[in-house]
Amino acid sequence: MIDIPREELFNPGHPACPGCGAAPSMRLALKALGPKTMVVIPASCWSIIAGAHPSFSLEVPLLHTPFLSAAAAAAGLKAALEAQGDQETLVMAWAGDGGTYDIGFQGLSGAAERRTDMLYVCYDNEAYMNTGGQRSSATPLGTQTSTTPGGKLEEKKDLLNIIVAHGASYVATATLAYSHDLLKKFRKARDKKGFRFIHLLSPCPTGWGFPEDKTITMARMAVESGAYHLMEWEGEGWQTTYHPSFQVKVEDYLQAQTRFAHLTGEELQEIARRTAEYWERVSRSE
C-alpha cells in the first residue's frame, strides 16, 4: 500500500458527466505528479472537464490545443522550459483515444521517436465520446457505436507496442479502480527521463451504457476478467503489475454494457476468446 496524498490539484464543481472515469483519473494522476506539472490537452472530453472560461478545474497550468497538436505542443512547451533553464517541471500531454490513436497519432509518433522528455497519457474511453460516441481505432471488436451501428469489425489497435517500438523509456497501463497501482505508475513515470506513456482505461457511462454509479465496478470487471491488463514496460519486456482473479468472465463484463447488447451469446464468446488472445499477444511482444 502507498499513501495517496491529500493535496488536491483537481477541484470539485467541474462539468464532467456523472460517473465519468476520466475526471477522477486526472485527480489521481495529479496527486502522484504534484504541482510542478504542466498539462497540454487537445480536443477531448477533457477540453470541457477542465472548465469553460473563466472557470478552471485544475491547480496546475493547462494549454488547450487543437485536436492533433497535443504531443507536438507538449514537446514545444518542454523545449521552452529547457531553454529557460527549468529542468524540473514535468510536461504531460493528456488526450483521449481519438486524439491519441487516430488524429494525434503522427504527432505522438514524432514526439516518441525524438525521445521527448515528457509524459503522454491517453485516457481511453474507447470511442469519440465528446462528439457522442463514434468509433475510434481504440474501440474494441464488436462494439456498437453511432458510426458502427452493427458493431465494430476490427480489433483495438495495439498502440502500446507501437509506443514501445519507438523506444519509450516507460509504458504502462492503469485504471482508476486500482488507484495504488495507478499512483505508483504515475510516480514512476514522473521520475524517469525520456518519453513516457501511460494508457488509462476510462469507463464512460453514457458511451458504454452502464449506470453512472458503476464506473469503478466496470473498470474492476475489465481487469478481473482479463479484458484489460495492468502492466508496465521499463525496457525489458512487459511486467504484469496485478494478477486478476478471473472470477469475472469477459462475457459478464461485456453484458454489463449496452454497447455490446446487440451481440449473441456466440459472438460474446468469440469476442471473449479474441480479447484473451489480444492481450496475450500484446503482453508477450518484445
Partner 1 sequence: MLVDFPYPSSYLCSMAESRLMLGSEALALGVKLCRPQVIAAYPITPQTHIVECLAQMVEKGELSPCRLVTVESELSSISLVLGASAGGARVFTATASQGLALMHEILHWVAGMRFPVVLANANRALGGPWILYMDQTDSLSQRDTGWIQLYCASAQEALDMVPLAYKIAEAHLLPVMVIMDGFWISHTMEPVEAPSQEAIDAFLPPRRDELKLDPDNPQALGAPSPSDTFYQIKREIQEEMEQVLEAFPQYAQEYNQIVGRSYQAVERWFMEDAQVALVGLGGITGTARYTARVLRDKGIKAGVVFPRFLRPFPTYEVRRLLESVETVLVMNRALSPGMGGQLTQEVKTALYGLSHPPRVVDWMAGLGGIDPIPSSMEEAVKKALAGEERIWTSKPVGAKR
Q: Interface residues with partner 1 (CB under 8 A)? A: 35-38, 40, 47-48, 50-53, 55-56, 58-66, 68-69, 71-85, 89, 106-107, 109-110, 113-114
* Nearest-approach distance from CB 260 to partner 1, in angstroms: 32
Alpha-carbon distance of 143 to 166, in angstroms, equals: 29
Q: Which residue has the cell 491517453?
A: 122
* Nearest-approach distance from CB 258 to partner 1, in angstroms: 29
* Nearest-approach distance from CB 169 to partner 1, in angstroms: 18
DSSP assigned state of 258: G
* Nearest-approach distance from CB 250 to partner 1, in angstroms: 37
- Cβ closer to partner 1: 78 or 152? 78
Give one word for 216, left, alpha or beta, with left for phi > 0 and alpha for psi -120 to 50: alpha
* SS3 category, 164: helix
Alpha-carbon distance of 225 to 274, in angstroms, equals: 13
* Nearest-approach distance from CB 46 to partner 1, in angstroms: 11
Alpha-carbon distance of 185 to 32, in angstroms, equals: 9
* Nearest-approach distance from CB 249 to partner 1, in angstroms: 41
Lookup: cell for 99: 486524439
- Cβ closer to partner 1: 191 or 213? 191
- Cβ closer to partner 1: 114 or 274? 114
Q: Tell me the CA distances in angstroms from 198 to 31, 97, 147, one per residue in order.
A: 15, 12, 27
Angle at 160 between CA 216 and CA 76, to 5 degrees: 100
- Which is nearest to 212 in space by CA: 65, 34, 50, 19? 19
- Cβ closer to partner 1: 77 or 127? 77
- Cβ closer to partner 1: 56 or 246? 56
* Nearest-approach distance from CB 27 to partner 1, in angstroms: 15
Q: 231-233 and 90-96 as β-strands: parallel, antiparallel, unpaired?
A: unpaired
- Cβ closer to partner 1: 71 or 160? 71
- Cβ closer to partner 1: 84 or 247? 84
- Which is nearest to 58 in space by CA: 9, 95, 8? 9
